[in-house]
Structure 1
């Protein structure tokens, strides 16, 4: 057995049924004041029909109309959706602007050096953006050397970190269309640097 129809649907259906029966009753002459009352004159009978139809139509409209609370809720949702979209767009624009500022700073300091956080071997969005800014120049290099840096005084796994950083940059370059055959990996743990130097061999 399926779920029962909503109360609102039942009320609307009942109103429509009542209206249909009322109109049919008017047309068949069954709506009389009492059985002994003689038929009303044509004009009065017509007016009675009109009044009864208006009453039933008003009842049907009341059954099917939207409540003020529902209308207010719908209007509120329609107003809030654009505001939420604008807030999301503004936040995304601000984040992109901050990212671009960091990339600009790295490009101004040393375009070919991709910084990494100390103790980390993950290429972050700033590093990826920095590489993409100069991807055309990198693709034009016949031979590419990636030298991973991690100062040995900052970690007992400096060599592993330096190599992992170089691998991260290599994989990103390959994903960006650079042939892996043209790339050579090197490491350096003597300098107090954390990153990868991209150079033409």
Structure 2
């Protein structure tokens, strides 16, 4: 499955993505707000193998996309959609963009594509995303793509020895 936007390809990961992916996942600035990382090359390889395996998953519950800039073919981030409850048509999504590509609207463009895919072709009724309250850029992305803030989750993650809150955002499929 590949998603295309005006400036991006969101495509399945490939075995040859390790170098570009690790440059992102191993960067402390990128994973500052995440409950994982910064990755070692070995941890990035494990993630990549897992992403490749999920392409064969039946029934499909997770889509992991390499976010690739169309203008130069560079891998600049990743995005994910996970169906957490097929019965209730409910999923979660997330994304990250390399520091060099931040501030150009790529996160918004990629996140919007994943959200729209999940709510249409993915058949989901509700998609949620969380972000750290201090991650103002991610708050803006979630609001720009039409997600609504639904809550503040206190001490939701233990990140590098510190309890961190999360803001909960969601979007519902349009009623037909």
Alignment TM-score, normalising by the size of structure 2:
0.30
- Structure showing greater radius of gyration is 1
Normalized per residue, the structure richer in helix is 1
The structure with more strand, counted as a fraction of residues: 2
